[in-house]
Amino acid sequence: MDLKNITILSLYSELKERRISCREVAQVFLEHVRKVDPKVRAFLYVNEEWVLKQAEEADRRWREGRAGALEGIPISIKDNILIKGHPTTCASRILANYIAPYDATVIERLKREGAIFLGKTNMDEFAMGSSTENSAFHPTYNPWDLERVPGGSSGGSAVAVSTRMGLGSLGSDTGGSIRQPASFCGVVGMKPTYGLVSRFGLVAFASSLDQIGPFALDVEDTALLLNIIAGFDPRDSTSADIEVPNYLTFIRENVQQKFVIGLPREYFSGDLDPEVTKILEEVIKALSEKHTIKEINLPHTKYSIATYYIVAPAEASSNLARYDGIKYGFRADAKGLIDLYKKSRSLGFGKEVKRRIMLGTYALSAGYYDAYYLKASKVRTLIKEDFERAFKEVDLILAPTTPTPPFKIGEKTKDPLQMYLSDIFTIPVNLAGLPAISIPVGLTAERLPVGAQIIGPAFRDELVLTLAYQIEKTLCLKLTPPIL
């Protein structure tokens, strides 16, 4: 099997023609994980016996003519999404021995289509971070340069796909956690419109921002995965009851569509790395031959980090109150109830999680609520209105995904603000609830991946994918990390 040139769709046609069995596929990928994962450490959990059992069931469904759209395709899942009967740790000590009692809606849907779960991927603890260094268990390493971070918080998923330890993955994106690691690892990663994909069975970080989305090796595979996971779910009260198009059919039918593309001045000025700037300029030049390019303003961009770091910790402090040492996971030895709460939380949570809980609790406390949380909510509305105004003039927005290529391990761990700033281009999109994708568009002189971000109006995820598909076809990049 040529792992360098494989995609979900190409492997699916091999399976369909019975040139290879699901069991053989599973064995190839397990062998590959055994070989590659010790170097990059993308996984927190791989259960070989379970993988082979899933593969046998998939082979049976092929034989019986009941194969789903992903029958026999190996994928991975970020460790904050529940798969019944298997661990979900959120890379936290406090959930180290937690076994999921039910399936997330996205998992039910993937199971229905026959996907094979290779395992659960590493992440920053409770998805708080941008480098996967905040995992309580171990960091994950960037396959393009093992001394660099893969991004985060879905770093394990991005690395797994980039190194072909599975051909797709699901992550979660609260402030950039799918797009930023996708950019750092040279793969496609998409945050769908808020409400398009059910959050039922996703461990909550900041409920008004969290969204599950796919990682894949190309845009067609991304569209296929989105087809499966998108759509109304009555078990998530923020799920949108709307008609969902077939994304794969849509992008294929609209590859010729011309767009008016907006370039936000605020995203291209100041601190953007010169190599990132240069690579993006080439993309823009190529696009300008066909599309109309227009400069736009998103004037409240500069407030987005400050706004996010009130809203997200406030919601997190409330969501994480449930980890009290009694209902879930880790319980410390203690004398009496209050001591039990204190010790379980002190020992169970890592430093960044505690920092967020304290920030959030402070921002929500009586007397400070108006000054912080209420104010942040108002600024959030202004940020959303910036985008609404822009989308009256343009169809889509093109921007960098991250201000720099992947940074060194340890480079930003001492200075949380520096770490927070690496999400400056992704956070506004979550605050506004919009769809956005990161696709690989080049390599720096040091051969580190650079991503471009496409942002669309709410519930126009198909347009975001269509422009991504066109860029992919224009650039014809095939990115395989040197570790392969």
Catalytic center residues: 78, 153, 177
Stretch that binds ligand GLN, among 54-62, 173-181, 288-296, 362-370 (CB under 6 A): 173-181
Decide if residue 170 touches ligand GLN (CB under 6 A). Answer: no
Our finding on whether 153 is near ligand GLN (CB under 6 A) is yes
Stretch that binds ligand GLN, among 128-136, 229-237, 241-249, 398-406 (CB under 6 A): 128-136
Q: In what order do the strands lie in the sheet with 212-216?
A: 43-46, 116-121, 74-78, 168-172, 212-216, 188-191, 436-443, 449-455, 396-400, 260-264, 292-296
Six token digits for residue 204? 């909550």
Interacting residue with ligand GLN among 125, 133, 145, 173 (CB under 6 A): 173
| CB-based contact 466:261 (threshold 8 Å) | no
- Taking the C-alpha atoms of residue 118 and residue 191, their distance in angstroms, rounded to an integer, is 22
Q: Does 344 bind ligand GLN (CB under 6 A)?
A: no
Integer CA distances (angstroms), 469 to 214, 258, 321, 464, 473, in order:
15, 13, 42, 9, 6
Per CB under 6 A, 130 contacts ligand GLN: yes
Which listed residue (79, 220, 221, 423) binds ligand GLN by CB under 6 A?
A: 423
Record the tokens describing residue 341, joined without a space.
């709460």
> Of residues 150, 176, 214, 329, which one binds ligand GLN by CB under 6 A?
176
Rule CB under 6 A: say whether 214 interacts with ligand GLN: no
With CB under 6 A as the contact rule, the residue among 74, 114, 119, 129 that binds ligand GLN is 129
Residue type, 426: T
* Contact pick of 122, 157, 169, 177 for ligand GLN (by CB under 6 A): 177
Nearer to ligand GLN, 153 or 453 (CB): 153
Q: Directed axis angle between helix 22-40 and helix 48-63, to 10°?
A: 150
Smallest CA-to-CA distance from 243 within 422, 41, 462, 437 is with 462
Distance of alpha carbon 135 from alpha carbon 80, whole angstroms: 12
Any contact of residue 193 with ligand GLN (CB under 6 A)? no
Report the nearest approach of ligand GLN to the CB of residue 80 (Å). Answer: 9
- Give me the least distance between CB of 426 and ligand GLN, in Å please: 7
- Taking a C-beta distance cutoff of 8 angstroms, is the pair 409, 105 a contact? no
In this chain, which stretch among 51-59, 169-177, 340-348, 399-407 interacts with ligand GLN, using CB under 6 A?
169-177
Q: Which residues from 293-312 bind ligand GLN, rule CB under 6 A?
A: 312
Asked whether position 174 contacts ligand GLN by CB under 6 A, the answer is: yes
Query: Which span (66-74, 174-182, 438-446, 469-477) binds ligand GLN, by CB under 6 A?
Result: 174-182
Of 207, 225, 248, nearest to 171 by C-alpha is 225
Pairing relation of β-strands 168-172 and 212-216? antiparallel
Give the interface with ligand GLN as residue ranges (CB under 6 A). 127-130, 153, 173-177, 205, 312, 423
